[in-house]
Amino acid sequence: MVYRRPLISLNDEKRVINITWHEHQFGPPLVQQNNVEEFYLAYQLFARAINDFPYRRVVRLRKSDMICFNNRRLAHARNAFTGKGERHLQGGYINSDDFKSKLMYLSQKLDDGKPVCHVGNTDWT
């Protein structure tokens, strides 16, 4: 598997707009040789910050529960399955433009007066 994407993406104003983090899909970093040690030190600090995040919320889903979130705005993970029986998790994805369009349509149709707002990473909520 070849996966090339920056871990941290910035916009034109140098603000963070996306973090792509998956410990098990990480290959050799594309950095200059003299920056490799510094990169891995930063990587380890970042990994610790993610794993020790003080505002972590654990939710146990029951049969027929559904959870929805913006994949680019929320760090998320699953705990290891240790129970008996089966585990069925199914992902569903939607293009952010399609989602924004539907929100705008529903907002106008329902005339709820709530603006559809930009969340800062080219996704809408």
pLDDT digits (tens, 9 = 90+) for 44-75: 998 898 888 888 888 888 888 888 777 766 77
Predicted pLDDT of residue 122: 52
Task: Examine residue 3 and state whether it is found in any structural domain, yes or no.
Answer: no
Measure the CA dihedral 63/65/68/71, to 10°: -20
82 occurs within a structural domain = yes
The answer to the question of residue 111 being in a domain is no
- Compute the distance between CA of residue 110 and CA of residue 106 in angstroms, rounded to an integer: 6
* Residue 103 covered by a domain: no
The listed range with the strongest mean pLDDT (21-25, 38-42, 53-57, 59-63) is: 38-42
Indicate whether 20 belongs to any domain. Answer: yes
Predicted confidence (pLDDT) per residue in 105-123, tens digit: 888 888 777 776 654 455 4
Which range of residues forms the domain containing residue 30? 8-94
What pTM does this model have? 0.58
Residue 86 lies in a domain: yes
> In a 10 Å sphere around its CB, with 0-12 CB exposed, 13-18 middle and 19+ buried, how is residue 124 labelled?
middle
Q: What is the pLDDT of residue 35?
A: 95
CA 115 to chain CA mean position, Å: 24
Q: How many domains does the chain have?
A: 1
Please check the confidence at residue 85 and state whether its pLDDT lies above 50.
yes
pLDDT at 41: 95
Alpha carbon distances (Å) from 7 to 11, 37, 41, 73: 14, 16, 14, 14
